[in-house]
Amino acid sequence: MLKLFFGPGSCALASHLALEEAGAAYEAVRLSLRDGEQRKPEYLAINPKGRVPALVTDRGVLTENPAILLYIAQTHPQADLAPLDDPSALARMQAFNSYLCATVHVAHAHGARWADEASSIADMKRKVPETMAACFDLIEREMLAGPWVMGQRFSTADPYLYTLSRWLKGDGVEVARFPKVAEHMRLMEARPATAKVLPLHQ
């Protein structure tokens, strides 16, 4: 059985929601990121990156949301979570997920990892609302077809976008500035998978 390691408030919510949407048989294991459980030897033996999500499968451990999401879609074809046989559409979905992991997540996460001085870290944190708003501006204008990321078809990009949209408020950005994103959050929150998984991430 698949085993997903996650931490509350983390981007692992995306993979967790996708497992639920896929109707996968899985177990979810919660780590306390605040207590640094992701950097303890037991977990580093599973994922040497010391990050979540990690998905333990019978053929090894998978990491990184864009890869795990594609894996879930490919191994649960009946859930139709990705346009697997349409290279153009699949590339658009993967490009969206890449943008989330390489640009939006990074804009949100600025802190001690990339500088040493307290003043630099404070400077980076001050800039988070500006860079996050710029990312969601682009998503709203150019990337979110609506109602779902890919238009009428629900895909792995939807739980992933929802996961990062949830960070806006804490980052000091009003979701209401982005009407399509706000509507996307509302639609995601109406799904049974979200209702089931979200309480575990509080």
| 4: helix, strand or coil | strand
* Cβ-Cβ contacts under 8 Å for 89 (sequence gap 6 or more): 83, 150
**Cβ-based nearer residue to a second copy, 7 or 194:** 7
Q: What binding mask, one character per residue, do residues 74-93 give for a second copy by CB under 8 A, x or -?
A: xx-----------xx-xxxx
The tokens for 76 are: 């649960």
Is 29 a residue that touches a second copy (CB under 8 A)? no
- Taking contact as CB under 8 A, which single stretch among the options 125-133, 145-153, 159-167, 185-193 is the one that binds a second copy? 125-133
| Cα distance between residue 177 and residue 168, in whole Å | 11
| Cα distance between residue 85 and residue 78, in whole Å | 14
Of the residues 39, 40, 127, 196, which one makes contact with a second copy according to CB under 8 A: 127
| Cα distance between residue 99 and residue 97, in whole Å | 5
Contacting residues toward a second copy, per CB under 8 A: 48-49, 57, 59-60, 62-68, 70-71, 74-75, 87-88, 90-95, 97-99, 101-102, 105-107, 110, 113-117, 119-120, 123-124, 126-127, 131, 138, 141-142
